[in-house]
Structure 1
Amino acid sequence: NCGIYFPEIKRDPGRYLHTCPESVKKWLRQLKNAGKILMLITSSHSDYCRLLCEYILGNDFEYLFDIVITNALKPGFFSHLPSQRPFRTLENDEEQEALPSLDKPGWYSQGNAVHLYELLKKMTGKPEPKVVYFGDSMHSDIFPACHYSNWETVLILEELRGDRDGKPEDSEPLEKKGKYEGPKAKPLNRLSKKWGSFFIDSVSGLENTEDSLVYTWSCKRISAYSTIAIPSIEAIAELPLDYKFTSFSSNNSKTAGYYPNPPLVLSNDGKLKTK
């Protein structure tokens, strides 16, 4: 309740937030009904997380997730040792005592990926359960989850919104298409007049030579640390749960992992250079 930002969000969340599409909530329920363990990991504090999720997902949002972790302090959640970042219980959104380990699903604060993975082993009965982690930050989500925890990662990349209308090619079978509900997302300005493209850059050549196109640092990080990249969860929500995505690791490709299609600016992939 302090400051300007939080009281304003609390007073009128509909002014700043979009509700979650029904297709995404249905997708979450389908995953849970299929026996998947669903986790929500956020660096937001529990009271703010609850406020947002109740508006976005509904008052019963907690039933969608087996484990909720708030104040996760990413990327440290992945890189720190358990002794440096123990899990803590919550009481009325206030952090309580530190836990020596994580023994059961529930709502926790802070924590670390090591103890979380041990809990997943116990819950699944598998020695190496496979984790697919969705995130929209390369710094806080994708790189640390891939590098430190070796999890499969799905980058939610808003720069893909509106590219090719955000839909798969017509050649793909209808039953395998993800689709958007409501109006199309407004395309972002992927070619900033100030910064240039998010994906490629032009490097001046030597005298009497042409400029060459190269992948940007951000573009190279996407293919290096993401399993796939998507414009939104809504883009895949109506795909079959057993849909087989093509990953960036396929043939060491820098474009294969973009779903539903690579960005248009990467269509000349063969002419691009890595520097």
Structure 2
Amino acid sequence: MAKFSSLNVGDAKVFRLSDYDCVGFDLDNTICRYKLSSMVKMEYEVIADYLVREKGYNPEYLLKPFEANLDFVKKGLLLDFARGNVVQIRFDGYIAKASHGTRFLSEKEIIEVYGPNRKWDVAEKFTQNMLEAWNGPLSEKVRTLLDYFDMPASLAFARAVDSVDAAAEGKSVETYTVWPDVHDALLYMFKRERFSLNEGGYFPALKSDPDQYIIKCSNNVLSWLRLLKSKKVTFLITGSHVDFASFTATHCMGEDWRNLFDVVVCYARKPGFFTGVRPFIALDGFEERDSITAADMKPGNIYSQGNWQDLQQFLKMATKEETPKCLYVGDNLIQDIYTPSEYTRCDTVSVVEELSAEGMVGSHKKHSDSQILVSDTWGSYFCCGGKGSFDANCTLWSKIIQNHSQICVPDLECLANHNLDHCYSPFVVEEDSCKQMGYYPSCPASLAVLL
């Protein structure tokens, strides 16, 4: 259930930034946005090259042009490891659509695989406890593709399954073991040591031509961040290691980016940052040194790893408030939205670029990367597109947005266009309520047709 730190105006709840003592941000895909068509294609090509070169997969399948299956790529899909399937689920675990490899399954085939209720027990368990699929037992059976860094893994996984099927020459494959290889490819790309070594394909590409992949923050957003810093305690929590975070932050916010935040946390290893007790690590340049306590933390510094409880102690000292009201703004719906909402007293704002890419009611603004964010095959990020009620057709992701964030915006520009006292209508999760009101500037077109 969403928690409201906002005021009541008459009978209506409102959300406004001025009600908070502290405002924090994720970096990647929140403050630092990417040119997704270029970046996702590059990521896929690095993964595919690795699978062919290091794991021996058939290049006929993996090295097909990325564009040949562009519509297959979608954020928020789940990988069914053992069956070699890619699935889209509703909020209750119902399999709305599924493919085996890159071949989409018919309605009849989905029922044959997942039963007449179209429920996969693993997906159901995942919807009940989403952290179980992160580090728990479910992580050995399913993977959720939550952001634009792992989104291309859906196509790599599916094409690798096609490759295995082709090698089987019509014989049944009882259990697929493709995922560990795809996971190795992701580690090859993103392991934090790769940045300084200029290895792994992804980091060298970004470093050699950052303008091809990174979008610079507008002056409007930078001015807004400075205004926030002058009125609130501001913080940055990113999963990126300090060297990569400094590179991207400098490129999108400028050389003085550190002046926009009272404290910066790198390599936070979310969602564990919000649930665990891992200590903060002091940094010497880009090198991790000794662990420290909350009492050792100083304004203006950058730290590595850490946990929410210690950060909250720092925020108490910085605000001189016993229980400072905190807001966190991020894009990853499990790491940045569900976990802080469920496990801390921190409110959240979700940043979802699909909101503008798919289209909003009354808006004709076109997202520059709609071609990579919109899939006609899988359908909407927010709605499964079936018949029936609003609730019956919400994807898991739209449920998380509605239940665990105050509002949802496509980018920070939407917030920066208003002063800190601006009143937004937050999500109100009540029976028969108009749940789309928290989307700003307006409701996704796919959900509006159900209301």
Bin the TM-score by the shorter chain.
0.7 to 0.9
Query: Cα distance 1:166–1:96, how it changes in 2: closer, same or farther (>3 A)?
Result: farther
Question: Is contact 2:437-2:443 (8 Å) kept?
Answer: yes
2:78 equivalent to 1:78:
no
Shift of 1:269: 4.2
Whether 1:258 and 2:434 are equivalent positions in the alignment is no
Say yes or no: does 1:185 pair with 2:367: yes
The 1:8–1:97 alpha-carbon spacing in structure 2 relative to 1, beyond 3 Å, is: same
Q: Give the Cα–Cα distance (whole angstroms) in 1 for the partners of residues 355 and 362 of structure 2.
A: 7
Question: In the alignment, which of 423, 439, 442 is matched to residue 244 of structure 1?
Answer: 423
Secondary structure of the residue that 2:214 maps to in structure 1?
coil
Question: SS where residue 329 of structure 2 aligns?
Answer: strand
Which shows bigger deviation, 184-193 or 110-119?
184-193
Contact 1:166 1:260 (8 Å CA) reproduced: no
How far did 1:202 drift? 4.1
Deviation at 1:149, TM superposition (A): 1.3
Which amino acid in 1 is paired with 2:215? H
Cα distance 1:258–1:31, how it changes in 2: closer, same or farther (>3 A)? same
Q: Which of 62, 65, 87 is the aligned partner of 2:280?
A: 87
1:212 CA displacement: 2.5
For the pair 1:100 / 2:100, whether they are aligned, the reply is no
Query: What code does the residue aligned with 2:291 have?
Result: A
Q: Summarize deviations over 1:210-264 as a string: whole Å, max 9, x none.
A: x425222221111011111001001121201110111113755421110111112
How many residue pairs get aligned? The number is 245
| Cα separation, 2, equivalents of 1:201 and 1:14 | 35
CA distance in 2 between counterparts of 1:165 and 1:212 reads: 20
Cα distance in 2, alignment partners of residues 200 and 100 from structure 1: 44
Find the partner of 1:20 among 209, 217, 220.
217
Distance 1:104 1:143 in 2: 29
Distance 1:241 1:4 in 2: 41
Structure with higher Rg: it is 2
CA distance in 1 between partners of 2:422 and 2:408 (Å) = 15
User: What pairs with 1:23-62 in structure 2 (closer than 5 Å)?
Assistant: 23-33=220-230, 35-62=231-258
Match of 2:388 in 1: 212
Does structure 2 conserve the Cα–Cα contact (< 8 Å) formed by 1:161 and 1:186? no
Counting only pairs closer than 5 Å after superposition, residues 60-209 of structure 1 correspond to structure 2 as 60-80=256-276, 82=277, 85-102=278-295, 103-105=297-299, 106-162=301-357, 163-164=359-360, 185-186=367-368, 188=370, 192-203=375-386
Task: Return the offset for 1:159.
Answer: 1.0
Partner amino acid for 2:367?
Answer: A
Aligned to 1:222: 401
Q: 1:257 to 1:233 in 2, by over 3 A?
A: same
Distance 1:138 1:78 in 2: 13
Distance 2:361 2:385 in 1: 26
Give the match for residue 206 of structure 1: none
CA distance in 2, matches of 1:9, 1:186: 19
CA distance in 1 between counterparts of 2:450 and 2:291 reads: 50
Per mean C-alpha deviation after superposition, the further-off stretch among 211-220 and 224-233 is: 211-220
One-letter identity of the residue aligned with 2:331: D
**Equivalent residue, structure 1, for 2:16:** none
Amino acid of the structure 1 residue aligned with 2:376: K
User: Do structure 1's residue 234 and structure 2's residue 427 form an aligned pair?
Assistant: no
Q: Do the aligned partners of residues 3 and 121 (structure 1) sit closer, same or farther apart at CA in structure 2, a change above 3 Å counting? A: same
Gap runs ≥5 in structure 1: 169-182, 204-210, 271-275
Q: Specify the code of the residue in structure 1 equivalent to 2:379.
A: G
Unpaired runs of 5+ residues, structure 2, are 1-197
Shift of 1:99: 1.0
Q: In structure 2, how many angstroms separate the alpha carbons of the residues matched to 1:40 and 1:117?
A: 13
Q: Distance in 1 between matches of 2:375 and 2:207?
A: 34
**Bigger shift: residues 54-63 or 193-202:** 193-202
In structure 2, what is the Cα distance between the partners aligned to 1:166 and 1:142? 27
Counterpart residue identity of residue 247, structure 1: P
Q: For 1:195, what is the secondary structure of its paired residue?
A: coil
Over the aligned positions, Cα root-mean-square deviation in angstroms equals 2.2
Counterparts of 1:23 and 1:165, CA distance in 2: 24
Distance 2:327 2:315 in 1: 12
Identity %: 37
Counterpart-to-counterpart distance in 2, 1:26 and 1:191 = 31
Determine if contact 1:199/1:266 at 8 Å carries over to the other structure. Answer: yes
Whichever structure has more helix as a proportion of its residues is 2
